[in-house]
Structure 1
């Protein structure tokens, strides 16, 4: 594994931590400004693929969420930096799954919920809404309602 400055940390930067209150990502001391900087500088492909494996996303699903074709993702080298837009969407995905893990108690429970057609989303699966930022927000809002015991 290469030890290019910052890359080794990035490999795990988007991993979901299954400990309530552990924070939105694996990056120590991370906050909005850290995420802004990470988005601007671009995450590496390996970090995105690690996240994808952890969330059980196919390459097709991942490509739809980050708005990049499958072929383009395949062409990138593992240490290639991704665009700011792609990086931002990957970070949003990581944050959403971290939040879902906190609300549902376990990542596996949240992953199952994300693939279940739900009345709150017009009987669509939440995962099908991740191609827009409005979908991300709708899911975040629903997680807040679930956390507070308000069911639609």
Structure 2
């Protein structure tokens, strides 16, 4: 299980989110309220996701453009974004560095049926599969 503060750090932390996240319930409230669109921009600026990846696993470009006008994501979009951020944070912790995690997330993996881990993050079940595999890797269990 990844610490909510670590997940929030992936999207820019309190300065970008606009509130302090100390516990899981703080994160639940932030997601329910709708995260600011700036969290998506932080993911893009930090190189953790490309625009195409955001389009595939978080929300379509046109929708993102519309949400920029509003200033915040919907709760559902926020939830999808935090699912991706949680897995990115877990991968970074597992591999010890952002570049190593980024490479792993983008490489087809036999343990995931030849899928790229990042491509599975568009569903909750896919994210669970990736998280399970990361847990196995972290514990030295053959993947």
Q: Same fold (TM over 0.5)?
A: yes
Alpha-carbon shift at residue 53 of structure 1 (Å)? 2.9
Kindly indicate whether residue 110 of structure 2 is the aligned counterpart of residue 119 of structure 1: yes
More helix by share: 2
Out of 83, 87, 92, the position equivalent to 1:101 is 92
- Give 5+ residue unaligned stretches, structure 2: 1-6, 15-19
1:58 equivalent to 2:45? Answer no
CA contact (8 A) 1:130 1:136 kept: yes
The size of the alignment, in residue pairs, is: 132
Greater C-alpha Rg: 1
Cα distance between partner residues in 1 of 2:116 and 2:37: 26
Q: Which residue is 2:81 aligned to?
A: 90
Q: Give ranges in structure 1 of 5+ residues lacking alignment.
A: 1-12, 18-24
d(CA) in 2 for partners of 1:111, 1:120: 17
Q: CA deviation at 1:79?
A: 6.6
Cα pair 1:116 1:125 within 8 Å, conserved: yes
- Over the aligned positions, Cα root-mean-square deviation in angstroms equals 2.1
